[in-house]
Structure 1
Amino acid sequence: MESESESERAGPTREDGPQPVRARGGETEGGAQPVRDGGGETEGGPQPGQNGGGQTEDDLQAGQNNRGQTEDDPQPGRGDDGRTRDSAQPVRGRGGGTEDNSRPVRGGGEAEGVLRVVLADDHPVVRTGLAALLESVRDGTPRVSVVGVASGGREAVRAAVTLRPHVVVMDIRMPDMNGIEATREIGRVAPAVAVLMLTMVEEDDSVFAAMRAGARGYVLKGAGQDEIVRAIRAVAAGEAIFGPGVARRVLGQLSRPLPQPDPCPALTPRERDVLTLIAAGTPNATVAARLGLSPKTVSNHMSAVLAKLGVADRTEAVAWARDAGLGPAVDP
């Protein structure tokens, strides 16, 4: 009985029931804690939902990491540095400009509805004035935009290749390469580029040389603003256009009868003269006097004519010449 009394006075031992575990500061970490092992972790495992840092996962924001950022519900595209990554920001190039703000491309392209034009003229005043005139036009479509200038034919060819305009407005008289040669070269290296001649030269030879070189239009520099703009739009659309004065020349040339082909290109000019007079019934002596030749030379020319025409005698030569239109027509 005495031993029992001593035991009761000593009070309950630690093994009789779980005691609150005290921290080094003497504060309890909580009642009814499980027994901890030597590493400070409970043998029964961590507290439900508690991570190694002492935080409960249930108490944290859903998916929140140790820096207070949520993992399941992050800010759109936000990384560890706090910057958004998937907010579709345009990619910027080396120069700081965005790479995804591309424009419709046509030869280095501008917006749809704009005609890209290069001006080729060796006079700076003409280039500047014409550029200002074209850029000032706001009526009608497509709008004309001057994207480059050239002071010579070679520069015009380079601009046609590098700038890829719709139209090159070309003068004829320029240094290093004239406008006709430059037009021919553009047709070879940049066939999609239309050329409009705008020049003071109005001779027929220059007009037709430009057309043969591939120019789609020919307008004189005295033309008004509306006429020049209309011509640029026309050649860009694949049409052929001429200023009023040039058009009259072209129509006049087309209305002329076509030259007859030479029936015997083997004849020399002197042999042709002899044959024409013989076909007209002119005697050899008269032929010699008219042409300032000796009768013997006339006979030699006639022998050559018979051989080249493949006829046997003078009578057949006269008939051939009249059929070819070299002598007077003979009534049947």
Structure 2
Amino acid sequence: MKTIVAALTLALGASVLSGAAQAQSTLAGIKQKGFLTCGSNPGLAGFGVPDAQGRWTGLDVDFCKALAAAIFNDTSKIRFIPLSAKDRFTALQSGEVDVLSRNTTWSMSRDTSLGLDFPAVNFYDGQGFMVKKKLGVTSAKQLDGASVCTQQGTTTELNLADYFRANKMKYEVVAFATADETFKAYDSGRCDAFTTDASGLYAERLRAANPDDNIVLPEIISKEPLAPAVRHGDSQWADIVRWTHFAMLNAEEAGVTQANVDQMKGSDNPDVRRILGTEGKFGEGLGLTNDWAYRVIKLVGNYGEVFERNVGQGSPLKIQRGVNALWSKGGLQYGPPIR
């Protein structure tokens, strides 16, 4: 019996040590290679898109820059890997990318069956429809018998089927492998309607031959909490991803911006001091320096700044904050305290 107990104790100890080593693997690997690999959308305005010189911009892109700022104090230490909807999870699972920041819906099946975790929601969205104005449709309830363009390998296909079945309507699905193919098919008239996340509808409309000829219908038919994803089992890396988002929210709530962050380091407000690392040692628990969140705000900005310049009123998309406003302003974005 003593031999069995001793063996079990050794096995448990080995398991704990193995788990501890695994928990440090992603951050250690990033530091060792000297850059972060970020799985990105190959071209969705406002969220992830490269320009002709290869410079990436977007809300999801800025989140990866925030991670690089937290780790390296340098937002250039990133390699963006453009991924299709079909390939994005495989790329993360295989280790090709360290984090997937690509307008990806957090769902139960993805959370429990793909070996992934979704640390925080950085954009609350919902699926909608776009149609040509000349169709004379003002509500999704008028799409009975319509042909609908959608992208394969996304949650939109299931949501589309659920919506039409629930409303006892018929439709014809016209599916394509990529977002680019899907929208081009709609724009060229191969289907009556185009469906994707509402944020994507506003982004894609900008690419239409005649943007003003298209309208986004008012119905939102699903919940699409968009979140960065990491591999399951690496709790330290998941914590870094989670708390980077929360720090950006807390900074916005406390009025800390890119413009005033250096001045705010001298604040007497204990919440601000903990966010910026002038009080406490909260970075150590993440495996980072204690000024990690200061780096994020200094180099990237708070959540509100990132939202406004990429998809909000300071951008071509002009998306209202809505449910993505801070909880204190009627939204769902809520950052647990750093303390």
What TM-score, normalized to structure 2? 0.23
Q: Which has the higher helix share?
A: 2
Q: Which has the higher strand share?
A: 2
RCO comparison, higher one (Cα < 8 Å, 6+): 2
